């Protein structure tokens, strides 16, 4: 690999830094809003959103971790914290003694149902509203292309 392929051009570096800055600031602002308004962390919200979209509100522990791009230990700690608060529970898989399901509880559903409208309002205000419809379509195409690459080059 030559030296030039190890460096970003000024334009590439500018784009990359913009993505990182947006991700950090937007994620931080949304997480603080969730915490102050709903007492949910951004991680809590991510887990609950995935579970509410899953059949019967349950997913295998490993599948949930993979979908969120989290290490098994991070997922395990997160689920333990959420289970202590009554938002989710672990259930053994009857067909596979090694696997376990993470299941959203009625309390978890209630919390996410109350949190979602305010979260969507914040996403709209901070991300959607500043962009034109064409910019949103372009952003979605670019993001989808990056995600496709990530899915192809899993490691």
How many Cβ atoms are within 10 Å of 74's Cβ, its own excluded? 13
More confident residue, 123 or 155: 123
Comparing C-alpha atoms, which of 138, 60, 132 is closest to residue 101? Answer: 60
What CATH number has the domain bearing residue 91?
1.10.10.10
What is the per-residue pLDDT for 100?
87
- Is 17 among the domain residues? no
Cα(24)–Cα(41) distance, integer angstroms: 15
Cα(150)–Cα(129) distance, integer angstroms: 28
CA 1 to chain centre: 34
Query: Residue 96 is part of which domain span?
Result: 22-152
Which regions of 18-137 does DSSP assign to beta strands (E)?
58-60, 88-93, 96-104
Number of structural domains, the chain?
A: 1
The first and second tokens of residue 128, run together, are 């959607």
What is the per-residue pLDDT for 96?
67
- Is 3 among the domain residues? no
User: What SS3 class is residue 92?
Assistant: strand
- Is 78 among the domain residues? yes
pTM of the predicted model, to two decimals?
Answer: 0.85
Continuous segment of H or E residues that includes residue 82: helix 72-84
Supply the mean pLDDT for the chain: 92
Q: Going by DSSP bridges, is the β-strand pair 88-93/58-60 parallel, antiparallel, or unpaired?
A: unpaired
Name the pLDDT band for 4 (thresholds 50, 70, 90): low
Residue 70 phi, psi (nearest 5): -110, 150
Comparing C-alpha atoms, which of 65, 58, 63 is closest to residue 43? Answer: 65
What is the per-residue pLDDT for 23?
96
């Amino acid at each position: 690999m030559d030296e030039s392929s190890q460096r970003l051009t000024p334009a590439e570096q500018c784009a990359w830094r913009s993505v990182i800055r947006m991700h950090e600031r937007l994620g931080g602002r949304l997480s603080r809003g969730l915490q102050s308004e709903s007492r949910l962390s951004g991680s809590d919200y991510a887990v609950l959103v995935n579970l509410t979209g899953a059949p019967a509100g349950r997913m295998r522990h490993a599948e949930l971790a993979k979908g969120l791009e989290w290490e098994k230990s991070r997922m395990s700690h997160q689920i333990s914290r959420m289970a202590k608060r009554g938002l989710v529970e672990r259930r053994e898989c009857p067909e596979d003694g090694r696997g376990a399901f993470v299941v959203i509880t009625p309390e978890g559903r209630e919390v996410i149902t109350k949190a979602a409208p305010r979260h969507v309002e914040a996403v709209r205000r901070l991300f959607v509203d500043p962009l034109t419809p064409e910019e949103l379509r372009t952003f979605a195409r670019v993001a989808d292309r990056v995600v496709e690459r990530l899915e192809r080059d899993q490691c």
